[in-house]
Amino acid sequence: MIQPLIYWFRQDLRLSDLPGLQAAGDRPIIPVFIYDTAAADRWAPGGASRWWLHHSLAALASDIEALGGRLLVYAGDTGEILAHLADTTGAAAIHCSRAYEPWAAHLEREIHQRFAGSACELKRFPGSLLFEPEQIANQSGEPFKVFTPFWKACRRQPAPGTPKPPPEAGAFLAGTALPDAAGIEALELLPTRPNWAAGWESHWQPGSRGALARLERFLTTGINDYSDGRDRPALDVTSRLSPHIHFGEVSPRQVWHAATAAACAEEQLSKFLSELGWREFSYHLLHHFPTIPETAFKTQFAEFPWLGKREHLAAWQQGQTGYPIVDAGMRQLWQTGYMHNRVRMVVASFLTKHLLLPWQAGEDWFWDTLVDADLASNACSWQWVAGSGADAAPYFRIFNPTAQGEKFDGEGEYVRHWVPEVAGLPNKYLHAPWTAPDEVLAAAGLTLGVDYPQPLVDHKQARQAALDAYGEIRKAG
Give the end of a domain, one of 70, 103, 127: 127
Assess whether 270 and 417 both reside in one domain.
Answer: no
Catalytic residue among 121, 132, 224, 278: 278
pTM score > 0.85 for this model?
yes
In sign, the C-alpha dihedral spanning 416, 195, 41, 31 is negative
Where residue 260 sits, what CATH number does that domain have? 1.25.40.80
Residues 313 and 360 grouped into a single domain: yes
Residues 257 and 317 in one domain: no
Please indicate, yes or no, if residue 313 is contained in any of the structural domains: yes
Q: How far apart, in whole angstroms, are the C-alpha atoms of residue 170 and residue 173?
A: 7
- The four Cα atoms 446, 232, 222, 275 give a dihedral, to 10 degrees, of -130
Is 224 considered catalytic here? no
What is the rounded CA–CA span in Å between residue 107 and residue 260? 35
Alpha carbon 26 to its chain's center? 35
Is 306 marked active-site?
Answer: yes
Q: Is 101 a catalytic residue?
A: no
Q: Let me know whether 335 and 317 are in one domain.
A: yes
| CB 336, CB 319: distance < 8 Å | no
DSSP-based three-state secondary structure for 230: coil
Which residues form the domain of 137? Answer: 129-162+207-288
Q: Check whether residue 303 and residue 405 sit in a common domain.
A: yes
Local confidence pLDDT in tens for the 477 residues of the chain: 789 999 999 999 999 999 999 999 999 999 999 999 999 999 999 999 999 999 999 999 999 999 999 999 999 999 999 999 999 999 999 999 999 999 999 999 999 999 988 889 999 999 999 999 999 999 999 999 999 999 999 999 999 999 999 999 999 998 777 888 999 999 999 998 899 999 999 999 999 999 999 999 999 988 999 988 999 999 999 999 999 999 999 999 999 999 999 978 899 999 999 999 999 999 999 999 999 999 999 988 888 999 899 999 999 999 999 999 999 999 999 999 999 999 999 999 999 999 999 999 999 999 999 999 999 999 999 999 999 999 766 667 899 999 999 999 999 999 999 999 999 999 999 999 999 999 999 999 999 999 999 999 999 999 999 999 888 877 665
Closest by alpha carbon to 174, among 28, 26, 376, 339? 28
| Number of domains comprising the chain | 3
Q: Please report, for residues 96, 104, 247, the alpha-carbon distance to residue 99 in angstroms, rounded to integers and kept in the order given.
A: 9, 6, 11
Residues 328 and 447 in one domain: yes
Which CATH number characterizes residue 313's domain?
1.10.579.10
In a domain, 52, yes or no: yes
**Domain-embedded: residue 95:** yes
Q: Is residue 54 part of a domain?
A: yes
Q: What is the DSSP letter of 176?
A: G
> Is residue 107 located within the same domain as residue 152?
no
Task: Tell me whether residue 382 is one of the annotated catalytic residues.
Answer: yes
In this structure, the answer to whether residues 95 and 213 fall within a common structural domain is no
Residue 14 sits at the vertex; the CA angle it makes with 339 and 71, to the nearest 5 degrees, is 115
169 domain-assigned: no
Residues 6+ apart with CB under 8 A from 96: 7, 8, 9, 10, 20, 108, 122, 123, 124, 125
Which one-letter amino acid corresponds to residue 314?
A
Using an 8 Å Cβ cutoff, are 415 and 328 in contact?
Answer: yes
Which own/partner pairs from 263-269 qualify as long-range (CB within 8 Å, at least 24 positions apart)? 264/219, 264/223, 264/224, 264/226, 265/224, 267/227, 268/223, 268/224, 268/225, 268/226, 268/227, 269/223
Q: Is residue 192 part of a domain?
A: no
- Asked if residue 25 and residue 157 are part of one domain, the reply reads no
Active-site residue identified among 121, 132, 275, 406: 275
Same domain, 307 and 372: yes
Residues 449 and 323 both lie in one domain:
yes
Active-site pick, 224, 341, 406, 434: 341
Phi/psi region, residue 162 (left: phi>0; alpha: psi -120 to 50; beta: rest), is: beta
- On whether both 356 and 271 belong to a single domain, the answer is no
Tell me how far apart the alpha carbons of residues 114 and 80 are, in angstroms, rounded to a whole number: 9
Check 196, 306, 334, 434 and give the catalytic one: 306
**51, 204, 359, 384: which one is catalytic?**
359
